[in-house]
Structure formats: C-alpha cells, structure tokens
Chain A
Amino acid sequence: MTNLNSALPPLTEQITLLRWLRKNLFGSWYDALLTVLGLWIAYWAVKGFLTWAFTAAKWDVIILNLRLIMIGQYPLEQTGRLWLWLAFLVLLSGSSTGIWARESKYAAVVFLLPGLLALLPFSTEPRVWLVALTAIGLAGWVIGRAKPEILKRGVIAGWVISLPVIILLTHGFSESGTGFWAVAKTTLWGGLLLTFLLTVVAILFSFPLGVLLALGRRSELPIVRWFSVAYIELVRGVPLITILFMAQLMLPLFLPEGLTIDRVLRAMVGITLFSAAYLAENVRGGLQAIPRGQFEAAHALGLNSAQTMVFIILPQALRLIIPILAGQFIAVFKDTALVAIVGLFDLVGIGKTVLAQPDFIGLQREVYAFISLIYWVLSYGMSHLSQRLEERLGVGKR
C-alpha cells in the first residue's frame, strides 16, 4: 500500500530554490523592489549595529559596574543573603520543572544558564555561586522527577513562603549594623534586584486586588459596583507616573502623624494600586466569557455565590485569560522602570548613577543598551514561558 503522505506534490508545487525565490521574493516588479529595499534596510541596520557594538562601543563600563547594575549599593558583606534566596528560588523552579513538566526532557537546559553566565568576567565569588545555582537547579530537577508525589506539597509550600523569605533575606533582621544578618536599608536596594522586587510584589498584591475589583464591578450591589467602576476608570485614565508621584508626595500626608513609610514601599503601593485596575479589567473580560449556564448549574448543585465564584467561575475565567495576564505582568515589569523618575535606583535609576561617575561620561549608549537588553531578555523569557503554560493548560482547546 502506498503511503499517501509520501506521494510527491505536483510538479508546479515542488519547491526548488529558484521557485521559492520567485514566489516569496520576486513575484512581481514591486515585490522585487520591496525585497531589495528590505535587504538594504536590514544590511544597513545590522552593519551599523555590529560596527558600533564591536568597534566603537566601550563595554568596560558594563563590566566594571556589573555589580551596581545587578544589586545597586547593596552592602557587599550581605550579598550572600541574596544568593541564598536566589538558590532557594532556583531549587523550587528546578523541582517544579521536574514535577510538572515531566514530559519535556530538555527543560533542565534552562538551569545550565547560570553556569554559562559564570564564563563571563565576574570575580570569583559570583562565579562559584553561579555554578552552585546550576547544580542546585539540576539537583532539584532530578529529585522532582524521581519523587514527584512526595515533593509536590513541599514545593507548593515553598512557593507560598517564597516572597516573605525573599523580603526577609533581602532586608535582614539583625539590628547590630554589621555582620551577615545586619539590616540592609531599602535606600541601598537597587539595580535589577530592586526592579525584580518591585515587579514581584506588585504582581502578587495587585492580582487579588484586581480579582476583587473585577468581582465588585460585576456585583449586584450598586454601591460596591459604583466604587469599583470609579476606581478602575479613574486609575486607568491617568498615567502611572502621576500615581507614583502621588504615592511619593501625598501618601505621607494621608497617614496619621508619626507614621512614615519607606520610599521603596511607597513605590510598591503605587504600582500595585495602578496595576490592580488594569488586572480588574482583564479578569472582567474572562468572567464575561463564562456562559450563564455555569452559574446556573453551580447554583442548582447547591453552591452559594461565594462557592460558585471560587470553585466554578474563577478557575475557568482565569485560565481563559492566561495570555492576557502574562501580557499584563510583562507590562508591570516594564513599568517599574518609572520609579527611576521618582528617584529610586532601579535598573534605570542606577544607569544614571553609573553615568555620573567621571570615568564613564558619555557612555550613555552602552549603559542604556545593556539595560534595554536586560529588559528585553526578561520580557521575552516571560512571554515565552506564558506560551508554554498556555499549551500545557490547553487554553482555547478545552
């Protein structure tokens, strides 16, 4: 029996290089013109970029300031604490990959990344830690694959306590002023570390707030609904920077006398409140996509409104909007850059500090290109991860 799939396509459909070129590049005279124009633009851009990156650019500024860009002025003595929680996170992700992505055998490749980074010109200590991270990640992966049932609860519990652990380790708890566990003031937090903390805190806190606002907006109770609508529309109508300024300048005024809050915390509050309004609209979209029958069926089964929401509606609605949520989280990550305008030393703010050093005047291109690269890689990674998650959960298929 002949396999139908192996039959050759008709002669006119057979792909030869020449035919491919004709079809895709030189179909007509304007197609050819566009091709030439496109090639010229591509050549010009790539050549310009490569010439600059390899001949004109002085990348020393990045290498010498890498520490500043990564963690800002965070005290050297206590840097080990950051590595500790990073190792904890890598361990959790390693075992999570082992447990929940068993079928993808090559997922562990990701954990070679820190080890590869160790090849870059770092000093000895970070190199050792980076190699250790790779080892920890791979170990977590192996254990996760071997004993998924036993580890599952532990890993989930680990994720739940991860934020407090991160904050506690970053902040420290010994008041003595020196030593490994000494408190590191938030004014010293900076660089990628601060950007990461702002992003994580804003995402984790704005999510429940956003869900509540979305439920409030769909509520039958008019006062709750009006309040939600007013909040959402008010916040979505103004730029984030005004909210951040409000958080920095007006929040201290709102609080009773004697109570002050930290500048970093103020920024976190601002971004969280801002992001919650956008999340609420996304969640509302998901809620609207759930057919009435689901509510009716849940009520018929005897669930009350709260149970219907928590067990029936929200799980479906949230799964539907995973791609949109991922987009929103990426937007939060990119938006945290705005805290530089209110004077915090996140990635962008620390860029200014780096450029203010007399040795590195006039190297704006190098510094901001590198910072852009960090944003780009992390955003791209997040969107890639969300696509994988979507596939695994079968969004739009089930």
Chain B
Amino acid sequence: MQPDQGQTTAVPFWRDERVLKILGQVIFALMILLFFAEIIQNMQAGLAKQGITTNLEFLKGVSGFDISETVFPYDRNSTYWQAYQIGLLNTLVVSVVGIVFATLLGVILGVARLSTNYIINRLAAFYLEFIRNLSLLVFLIFWYLGVFLKLPRVKEAIIWPGNIFLSNRGVGIPWGIPTASYPTFRLILIFGFILALIVYFSLRAYSQRTGRAPLTILWTLLSFIFIGLIGWVILPEKPLILDVPRVEGLRLIGGKVLSPEFMALTSGLVLYTSAFIGEVVRAGIQSVSKGQVEASRALGLNSFQTLQLVVFPQALRVIVPPLTSQYLNLIKNSSLAIAVAYPDVFYVANTIQNQTGRAVEMIGMVMLTYLVFSLITSLLMNWYNQRTKLVER
C-alpha cells in the first residue's frame, strides 16, 4: 500500500503555527516601535517649537525658591539638584517613619482584631472598617486642614504630659541635643549594638543546641542598655542634653518642632496604612491552624512562647508578601504630600517643573526615583521572605 501522501505535503506558511508566532511578534513589535517613534517625534517637534531641548543641564541652575523643611543646609541660592535631593530625603524620612509606625500599629490592630476581649475586638473591627473605606487624599487633607492647622495658636498651645506642645505652628517634642562627646558616645553605642548581636546569636545557638529557652531578647536588650549606660556614665560630659520645647513670643523653640505638614502626612499615612496592615496580620495569624496552638500548649509552652515560637514564624510566611505591597503603597502614597504642602520629592519636582517648564525631565526623574525606591523595598522584602518561607522537602 502506498503511504498517505497528504501527510508529507508542507503546510502553507500562512497556516504554519511557528511562522505565525514569529510573524505576529514582529508585527506587534513594529506597532509598538511605530507608536513610540510617533510619540517621540511629536514630543520633539512640540518641544522644539517651545525652544526647549531635553537635557539635565538645568539642574545646575539656581533654584530661587525656599523649602520649608530641609535635611541639610539649603537656601534659595542652592541649585535645583540640591532642592531635588532635599525632596528625596524628605520622602525617605516620611516613608521610613511611616513604615515603622504603621507596622507597629498594624500588628497591634491585627492582634486586637482576634482578641477574645469583646470590646477590644469590636473597637479594632470598627477602626479597620472605618479607615479602609475612606479616600486617603480626603483623609490627609482633613487631617491637615481640619486637625493640625486647627490646633490652638502657639501662645495657647495644648501641653501634653512629657512636654509635648501641640500648636498650629507644629508639634514640639523633647529632643536630645548632641554635645562634644556625642561622637564618642555613638561609637560606644555601635559597639553595644554589635555586642548585643553577638549575645543574640550565641544565645540562639545555645538554645538550638541544648533545647533550653534562655530569655534571648531580654539578655540582648540588657547587654545593649548596659553598654549604653556605661558609656553615659564614664564620659566626662553628657553626650546628649535633653532639650524641652518652649514658647517664645509667637514661636515654638527648642526640642524638635515637627511641622503640621509633616505631622499630617505621617499620621495620616500611618493611620491609613495600619488598617490594611492590620487585616494582613489578622489573615496571617488566622492562617495558622488551631492544632498548632493546641499542640504547642500541650508541649508545655506558655502563651507568649506559643506566639513567639509557633504562631508568628508560621504566620510570617503568609504576612510578608502582602505586607511588602502595603509598604510599597505607603511609599507611593507619600507622594500625596503635595496635598498638604510637605516638600517631598514629588512636591519639589513639581515646583522645579513649574519654574523651568521641564516637564519631561522632572516627571522622568520622579518616576525613576519611585521605581528605584520600589525596587529596593521589593528586594529587601524578598530577601526577608526567602528567609521566612517554608522549607519544603
């Protein structure tokens, strides 16, 4: 019998899947390229008409505007580039402070949401439900215009215990002023920190080797505090002087005065993000099966040990990935600083853009900045996730 000739006839190329795939991609790529070519051409034509060339030389120019909050010395004679750096650092400050406090509050809320205490449970549930349905921008504006700017004038400032001054010009808190011996003290503290790390890891190794449970965290903290205290006592001059805020004329001086803008932005971000973190933490803790808790109680661990050694390590695996995206959200949301006039990177970039008309460059720089921030946070959290995740066979 003759073999079936039909099988050997070549498929025409317009029905050959391999050819089609390549062809499709080539067409797709061409379309994308044409699209971008068109955009860039239009943009260059438009910019040329306005007499603007795209480069970053203008960053060396004198800025001529003031920034209310500066991390390093800056005035209106500084360059645009320095202004941008100020904004960058301010974003960093808000992000770090926000993440730290939002995490603390979020964990408390998540645990409270699971509390057997009816009142605490309901309060946490109400808070989460209330915050999660608000619009962050409105929340921030309310917090700024409705709360921090509505505080009494400096002369009638509300004074909270611990010398905290609340006024419409800012919130004054006590703050340490470094003296001449502060650099030495800082070295001692670093030494204490290293020692504490050594104590922590050796105690943990001891615990894993022998199965005993020394009070690792307590000893670690104690060793750090001990070194710190020694440093404080032996130095001839006190390394830090506690400076208390006080009212002088129409201003609040001394201590550390946190501006209403900063307070509104950070407290708004913290309160808002903590609600989402609370949900993440609750879901994480609930994902640990009840049997784990019962088993650890049966093994004789107390409730603190159960949480620390059994529940949290397992809950962390569920918590870390969504927590990362909450951190990223907080960093990105800090760009809403523009609504409360806090000079973060976006606010400063917008001011520069208004003065120089360099929209393309400034938006590009800001986007790049946030991308780098996001990337770094993702990398750090992924690294942490690798450490906490389940080791499977």
A241 B335 Cβ-Cβ under 8 A: yes
Number of chain B residues close to chain A: CB under 8 A: 54
A253's contact among B24, B43, B149, B366, by CB below 8 Å, is which? B43
Q: Does any Cβ of B come within 8 Å of A166's Cβ?
A: no
Which chain B residues lie closer than 8 Å to A375 at the CB level? 133-135, 138
A35 B28 Cβ-Cβ under 8 A: no
B133's contact among A42, A242, A335, A379, by CB below 8 Å, is which? A379
From residue 170 to 205 of chain B, which have CB atoms closer than 8 A to chain A?
A: none
A239's contact among B24, B39, B133, B333, by CB below 8 Å, is which? B333
A245's contact among B24, B363, B374, by CB below 8 Å, is which? B363
A35 B374 Cβ-Cβ under 8 A: no
* Given contact pairs A35-B119, A250-B43, A368-B145, A223 touches B29 in the complex (Cβ within 8 A): yes
A239 B335 Cβ-Cβ under 8 A: yes
Q: How far is the CB of B338 from chain A (nearest CB, A)?
A: 6
Mark contacts of B100-130 with chain A using CB atoms, 8 A cut-off: 1 yes-contact digit, 0 otherwise. 0000000000000001111110010000011
A42 B119 Cβ-Cβ under 8 A: yes
* Given contact pairs A35-B119, A38-B120, A42-B119, A376 touches B133 in the complex (Cβ within 8 A): yes
* Given contact pairs A224-B25, A242-B366, A242-B370, A364 touches B135 in the complex (Cβ within 8 A): no
From residue 135 to 190 of chain B, which have CB atoms closer than 8 A to chain A?
A: 135-139, 141-142, 145-146, 149-150
Q: Does any Cβ of B come within 8 Å of A118's Cβ?
A: no
Q: Does any Cβ of A come within 8 Å of B229's Cβ?
A: no
B117 A34 Cβ-Cβ under 8 A: yes
Q: Does any Cβ of B come within 8 Å of A149's Cβ?
A: no
From residue 321 to 365 of chain A, which have CB atoms closer than 8 A to chain B?
A: 330, 334-335, 337-338, 340-341, 347-348, 351, 364-365
Mark contacts of B6-39 with chain A using CB atoms, 8 A cut-off: 1 yes-contact digit, 0 otherwise. 0000000000000001001100110010000011
Mark contacts of A204-222 with chain B using CB atoms, 8 A cut-off: 1 yes-contact digit, 0 otherwise. 0000000000000000111
A241 B119 Cβ-Cβ under 8 A: no
**Within the assembled complex, what's the spacing in Å between the Cα atoms of A134 and B96?**
50
A238 B142 Cβ-Cβ under 8 A: no
Which chain B residues lie closer than 8 Å to A246 at the CB level? 363, 367
Which chain A residues lie closer than 8 Å to B275 at the CB level? none
**Within the assembled complex, what's the spacing in Å between the Cα atoms of A348 and B118?**
37
B142 A368 Cβ-Cβ under 8 A: yes
Q: How far is the CB of A31 from chain B (nearest CB, A)?
A: 5
A34 B119 Cβ-Cβ under 8 A: yes
Q: Does any Cβ of A come within 8 Å of B46's Cβ?
A: yes
B138 A27 Cβ-Cβ under 8 A: no
**Within the assembled complex, what's the spacing in Å between the Cα atoms of A42 and B121?**
12
Q: How far is the CB of B81 from chain A (nearest CB, A)?
A: 19
* Given contact pairs A39-B119, A372-B135, A249 touches B29 in the complex (Cβ within 8 A): no
Q: Does any Cβ of A come within 8 Å of B235's Cβ?
A: no
* Given contact pairs A239-B333, A241-B336, A242-B367, A222 touches B146 in the complex (Cβ within 8 A): no
Which chain B residues lie closer than 8 Å to A341 at the CB level? 137, 336, 338-339
B45 A348 Cβ-Cβ under 8 A: no
Which of these binds chain B: A71-79, A173-181, A254-262?
A: A254-262
A254 B43 Cβ-Cβ under 8 A: yes
**Within the assembled complex, what's the spacing in Å between the Cα atoms of A173 and B350?**
37
Which chain A residues lie closer than 8 Å to B71 at the CB level? none
**Within the assembled complex, what's the spacing in Å between the Cα atoms of A351 and B119?**
36
**Within the assembled complex, what's the spacing in Å between the Cα atoms of A245 and B346?**
10
Q: How far is the CB of B36 from chain A (nearest CB, A)?
A: 10
The chain B residues found within 8 Å of chain A, CB to CB, are 21, 24-25, 28-29, 32, 38-39, 42-43, 45-47, 115-120, 123, 129-130, 132-139, 141-142, 145-146, 149-150, 332-333, 335-336, 338-339, 346, 350, 353, 359-360, 363, 366-367, 370-371, 374-375
The chain A residues found within 8 Å of chain B, CB to CB, are 23-25, 27, 31, 34-35, 38-39, 41-42, 220-224, 227, 234, 236-242, 245-246, 249-250, 252-257, 330, 334-335, 337-338, 340-341, 347-348, 351, 364-365, 368-369, 371-372, 375-376, 379-380, 383
Which 9 A-B residue pairings sit nearest by Cβ, starting from the closest?
A379-B133, A364-B145, A38-B119, A239-B332, A24-B118, A365-B146, A239-B335, A368-B142, A337-B137
